Structure 1
Amino acid sequence: MKSAEEQLSTYKSVHLNSKNIRTHFVGVPLIIWSIFLLLNLIPVNFFAWDDPAISINVASAFAIGVLIYYFKLHASLAIGLSLFILPVLYSTYLVAEVQGAVWIAIGVFVIGWVFQLIGHKYEKAKPAFVDDLNQLLIGPFFLMAELYFMLGLEKELDKQITPMAVEKRRALETLRREARS
């Protein structure tokens, strides 16, 4: 498994433009929310307590798996992601009970991707997942890291990944220029 620094620097290498990052702070949560809503619509429940809102269904099983992955990468960032994912799980569980929930999920998903694509127009770089599908899981992890950096937390992590990201971006741009020649 690649380190948190390696994964974050790869993601950041195509997310250096502040406008792109801002669009991702809208787009990524919308996409995550819509995916959890779709997962909540799958009629499989592995375990339920007396309160049906507290259950292990496909959405919560996915959340547990992803959070374990995030904790293996970086416990501090994973705590922040847990605080984000828990309300997402609960709200999507509630919306899954609404008639037409699948259309809500699809609409929110499309809107989220519109924000993503607008951001990459600013960046003038393709999304990170195009070359590595694992980067789809790193998007939320990256945004949590960026939030921590904005709050003055995890300064050492920022000092590590930013130069790596800039170097990776230079290499990408060199390859792009060479391909055009």
Structure 2
Amino acid sequence: MKTLIDHLSQYADYHRDPRNIHTHFVGVPMIMFAVVVLLSRPVWMAGGLPVTPALLCALAASVFYFRLDARFGLAMAAIMAAMLAGAQWLAAQSLAMWLGAGVGLFAVGWVIQFIGHYYEGRKPAFVDDLVGLIVGPLFVVAEWAFALGLRKEVQAAVEARSGPVRLRTGRAAA
């Protein structure tokens, strides 16, 4: 199994322009929440606990994140728990509200992502490796941690492999 550094570095290779990273701070959570919303129907009750495809995916993703790193795994599980709570509320609303919120967030989130990749001058990571779809949210959490001065050892290891974040000055720089 790849390590945390392996996954973050591979993803970081596609995300070195700060404008692209900043669009990911908005777009990735929107897409992630949209997927949780859309997977929050149907609901099955299991001993009083609502079970949805979103919950099952969140549990599987949490196992993936925890196997990579306990601290980031805990952060990702907390984020997903909050998203599950909000998505459960939306899923209980009308079909139009549930579907409109999910599809709308998904579409706008991807538009924001593609704007960032225009600045990057490079296609999204998931185009070459679908694992990038699950690593993207972890990358955003890691970048927030780095911005807050946390996990400097992880940041240094990622930058040793992928290089520092740098502003691209034109499409030719790609």
Distance 1:36 1:151, change over 3 A: same
* 2:62 counterpart of 1:67: yes
1:170 — aligned with what?
none
1:86, distance to aligned residue in structure 2 (A): 1.0
* 2:168 counterpart of 1:161: no
1:136, distance to aligned residue in structure 2 (A): 0.5
CA contact (8 A) 1:19 1:119 kept: yes
Tell me the distance in 1 between the aligned counterparts of 2:143 and 2:163.
15
Is there any run of 5+ residues in structure 1 with no aligned partner, and where? 168-176
Tell me the distance in 2 between the aligned counterparts of 1:12 and 1:79.
21
1:40 is paired with a residue of what secondary structure? coil
1:110, distance to aligned residue in structure 2 (A): 0.2
CA contact (8 A) 1:48 1:56 kept: no
1:48, distance to aligned residue in structure 2 (A): 4.1
Residues 28-177 of structure 1: matches in 2 within 5 Å? 28-41=28-41, 43-45=42-44, 47-49=46-48, 54-99=49-94, 100=96, 101-166=98-163
CA contact (8 A) 1:11 1:139 kept: yes
Q: Say how many residue pairs are matched.
A: 163
Tell me the distance in 1 between the aligned counterparts of 2:101 and 2:71.
32
Identity %: 36
Tell me the distance in 2 between the aligned counterparts of 1:68 and 1:165.
26
CA contact (8 A) 2:40 2:53 kept: yes
Distance 1:48 1:91, change over 3 A: farther
Further displaced range: 88-97 or 56-65:
56-65
Tell me the distance in 1 between the aligned counterparts of 2:158 and 2:100.
38
2:23 — aligned with what?
23
TM-score, structure 2 as length reference: 0.89
What's the Cα RMSD here? 1.6
Tell me the distance in 2 between the aligned counterparts of 1:16 and 1:143.
13
TM-score, structure 1 as length reference: 0.86
